[in-house]
Chain A
């Protein structure tokens, strides 16, 4: 199935949000996730099954003034 991660189309096998983040080796502590414009708190990542066409925003805090 296809999902969009930060605007880019990606082909993935069905999985949960937690699995996707683990595969991408991202630092979970620093991540803020928006799925179809809904913020998903970290405690719900393992139970959030990704669906075809989902739009994910993977964000983090950075330096800024």
Chain B
């Protein structure tokens, strides 16, 4: 499929499954999952080091051909998100940044207002900004105007595996946005990723569902297949649903008729 290149932040991706590095049982599973899923972009977070404990460098587990998408998780306002983004870029992680500003610790709902403020600042500084938001069409248009490289609406709260609970709202973004829509958070099963792609999402970001599966490598492959199936179905333009049955076989010309 010639058109099946995802243009995101000025970079071409031939795979539409974005993955995350959180919650893996051990870091060694990450490169295996990346190879199995074909994912070309993966998130990482930035935290204070535990001075008293030796920790592994997670970046060593990510092949160089995979684009890093540092997130600003932990930020509670735009200012903190901007600070984390600048640190990540200075640390050599490139220009991509996932803005994640969360003040609600019960549902981990993104703070759309602070996220917009951070997007405005960082896009001006040349970052490729991927804001993680609650799906809201007017906000998405504001993010676009602010220079966001994509909009990443949540399907359900982070880590819940409940799927596309916000489906009608995401559909509004897909129909009206001029930047890629990447469904992030809440996708728990490959079938839900396929559903997001069928409805026209440009990509999905899946972390928990892959990382906490018994076999993350196999689940990465399953999500890759689901994303490809959903994307192919979207491009093929699906037949319409109807209330009444429509015979697939001819209704005339049977034996004794």
The yes or no answer to B234 lying at the interface (CB within 8 A) is: no
Q: CB-defined interface of A37-65 with B at 8 Å, one 1/0 digit per residue? A: 10101000000000000000111111111
In the complex, which residues of chain B have a beta carbon less than 8 angstroms from the beta carbon of A39?
A: 86-87, 90-91
Interface residue total, chain B, C-beta cutoff 8 A: 36
A18 to B112, CA, bound (A): 40
Interchain CB contact under 8 A, B91 and A61: yes
Interface of A is mostly: mixed
The yes or no answer to B128 lying at the interface (CB within 8 A) is: no
A64 to B42, CA, bound (A): 9
In the complex, which residues of chain B have a beta carbon less than 8 angstroms from the beta carbon of A36?
A: none
Whole-angstrom distance between the Cβ of B234 and the nearest chain A Cβ: 25
Q: CB-defined interface of B43-54 with A at 8 Å, one 1/0 digit per residue? A: 111111101001
Interchain CB contact under 8 A, B57 and A29: yes
A30 to B27, CA, bound (A): 14
A6, A25, A27, A61: which contacts B46 (Cβ < 8 A)? A61
A24 to B52, CA, bound (A): 8
B22, B48, B90: which contacts A63 (Cβ < 8 A)? B22
Q: A63-B23, A64-B71 are in contact. Are A30 and B46 (CB under 8 A)?
A: no
A25 to B87, CA, bound (A): 22
A27 to B43, CA, bound (A): 21
Q: Of residues 1 to 51 in B, which have CB atoms within 8 Å of A's CB atoms?
A: 20-24, 27, 43-49, 51
Whole-angstrom distance between the Cβ of B202 and the nearest chain A Cβ: 19
In the complex, which residues of chain A have a beta carbon less than 8 angstroms from the beta carbon of B86?
A: 39
Interchain CB contact under 8 A, B43 and A61: no
In the complex, which residues of chain A have a beta carbon less than 8 angstroms from the beta carbon of B205?
A: 65
Q: A29-B57, A30-B59, A63-B22 are in contact. Are A58 and B70 (CB under 8 A)?
A: no
Q: Of residues 82 to 137 in B, which have CB atoms within 8 Å of A's CB atoms?
A: 83, 86-87, 90-91, 93
The yes or no answer to A22 lying at the interface (CB within 8 A) is: no
The yes or no answer to B158 lying at the interface (CB within 8 A) is: yes
A5 to B207, CA, bound (A): 31
Which of A24, A37, A41, A60 gathers most chain B CB within 10 Å? A60
Chain B residues in the interface with A (C-beta under 8 A): 20-24, 27, 43-49, 51, 54-59, 70-71, 73, 83, 86-87, 90-91, 93, 158-159, 185, 205, 207-208, 211
Listed from nearest, the 8 A-B pairs whose CB atoms lie closest are A64-B45, A65-B207, A65-B20, A30-B57, A63-B21, A39-B90, A65-B22, A32-B91
Chain A residues in the interface with B (C-beta under 8 A): 5-7, 24-27, 29-32, 34, 37, 39, 41, 57-65
30 A–B contacts from the bound complex (CB under 8 Å): A6-B49, A6-B51, A24-B51, A27-B55, A29-B57, A32-B90, A32-B91, A39-B86, A39-B87, A41-B90, A58-B48, A58-B51, A59-B47, A60-B47, A60-B49, A61-B59, A62-B21, A63-B22, A63-B27, A63-B45, A64-B20, A64-B21, A64-B45, A64-B73, A65-B43, A65-B71, A65-B73, A65-B159, A65-B205, A65-B207
